[in-house]
Amino acid sequence: MDDLVHGRIEWQANTIEDQVILKSDGFPTYHLAVVVDDHVMGITHIMRGEEWIASIPKHLLIYRAFGWEVPPMAHFPDVLGPDGKKLSKRHGSTAVSQFRDDGYLPEALINYLALIGWSPGTEEEIFSMDDLIRLWKIEQVQRAGGKWDKERLDFFNGVWIRRLFVDELVRRLRPFVPAEWDEGILRKVTPLIQERMKTLKDAKDQIAFLFTDELRYDPAQLIPKKYDGRTTIEALAKVIVVLRYADPFTAERIESAIEGVAQDIGWTVRELTIAVRVAVTGTKVGPPLYQSIELLGKEKVIERLERAQELLEGAHD
């Protein structure tokens, strides 16, 4: 037969074993069932993994026995694990539903899978389903298996997350965050984390500080290098003063106030924002700090800065 991927394939007839295709109880085995099923359903093209190449001669003989036309066949190369062997559970392969539960977008998974074993002949990598319908050609499918690369899948997922409109991204984030989280705040913070997400699951940990009154962190994280607890307490005190009188309480005004404090005390802005970020978010990384402070609101921010001072006082004592 002429396979659409592998070209012409021939077998010696004496290598085909005399296999049971109908059991004594009348129940068909797979080889008979699959041929009849494809024919009855009117399958126009048979496309499957290359491990089924060995079964082609048996299927061809069954097609001939019934006098049916054989649909064009294509046997695609396997997806391989990092060790070059066929992807399996030991590599962490999983059900499609698990990818959804892990926060991968359908658009990203389709885009990534399309490029395993197929090349468009250009440097372009980002393809929608409509693009693939228009551009994909079976003649460009490679015979060699492509390797599974989670980091590359994460890259595609990040690209497709950034392509979503904010309202659509919020809708897709909803299953990954607690139902009681305020929709308005979620809508406001989503654009701040859209550039930073690899999967939809990433969002919860990045923005949890906006929806809780209990932050847990090691007070030592508040202290920038080169400084100690006492100087950090004093720095936070100055931040509290300028933020208390910041009006309007906007990201721009907050940024100007904090930069002014840094200049006044001889710290770099980065050193000061490390302490402030940990105090108000509980972590050293997250959405843009000044916009986060604006979303939290003046009252909560000052409460958290004062709490950070108390923790440092306790640790200092």
- pLDDT band at 79, cuts 50/70/90? confident
Q: Which CATH number applies to 164-211? A: 1.10.8
State yes or no: pLDDT of 92 exceeds 80. Answer: no
Give the mean pLDDT of 287-293.
96
- Tell whether the model's pLDDT for residue 68 goes beyond 70: yes
| pLDDT score of 53 more than 90 | yes
The answer to whether residue 88 scores a pLDDT higher than 80 is: no
Return the number of other C-beta atoms located less than 10 Å from residue 47's C-beta.
15
Q: By C-alpha distance, which of 16, 15, 149 is closest to 82? A: 149
The answer to whether 300 is a known catalytic residue is no
| pLDDT tens column, 138-180 | 999 988 888 888 999 999 999 999 999 999 999 999 999 999 9
Q: State the Cα–Cα distance between residues 190 and 200, nearest whole angstrom.
A: 11
Q: What is the pLDDT of residue 17?
A: 86
In this structure, what DSSP letter does residue 91 have?
G
Indicate the class that CATH gives domain 219-316: mainly alpha
pLDDT of 81? 83
Cα–Cα distance for residue pair 109/160, rounded to 1 Å: 10
Of 5 and 117, the one with more pLDDT: 5
Neighbours of 6 (CB within 10 A): 17
Element (H, E) at 89: none
CB 238 within 8 A of CB 261: yes
Rounded to an integer, what distance in angstroms lies between the CA atom of residue 102 and that of residue 52? 31
Provide the pLDDT confidence category of residue 265 given band limits of 50, 70 and 90: very high
Mean pLDDT of the chain: 93
State percent of the chain over pLDDT 90: 81
Question: What is the homologous superfamily of the domain 2-76 according to CATH?
Answer: HUPs (3.40.50.620)
Q: How confident is the model at residue 95 (pLDDT cuts 50, 70, 90)?
A: confident
Catalytic residue from among 86, 89, 147, 204: 89
Whole-angstrom distance between the N-terminal and C-terminal Cα of the chain?
A: 83
282: left (phi over 0), alpha (psi -120 to 50) or beta: left
CATH placement of domain 80-159:
1.10.1160.10
Confidence band for 93, pLDDT divided at 50, 70 and 90:
low
Domain boundaries, the chain: 2-76, 80-159, 164-211, 219-316
Output the pLDDT for position 78. Answer: 86
In tens, the pLDDT along 189-209 reads 999 999 999 999 999 999 999
Q: How far is CA 62 from the centre of its chain?
A: 44
Per-residue pLDDT reduced to its tens digit, 106-141 = 999 999 999 988 888 888 999 999 999 999 999 999
Q: Give the mean pLDDT of 260-277.
A: 96
Predicted confidence (pLDDT) at residue 317 exceeds the cutoff of 80: no
φ, ψ of residue 223 in degrees (nearest 5): -90, 115
pLDDT of residue 134: 95
The two tokens of residue 251 are 């990201």
pTM of the model: 0.84
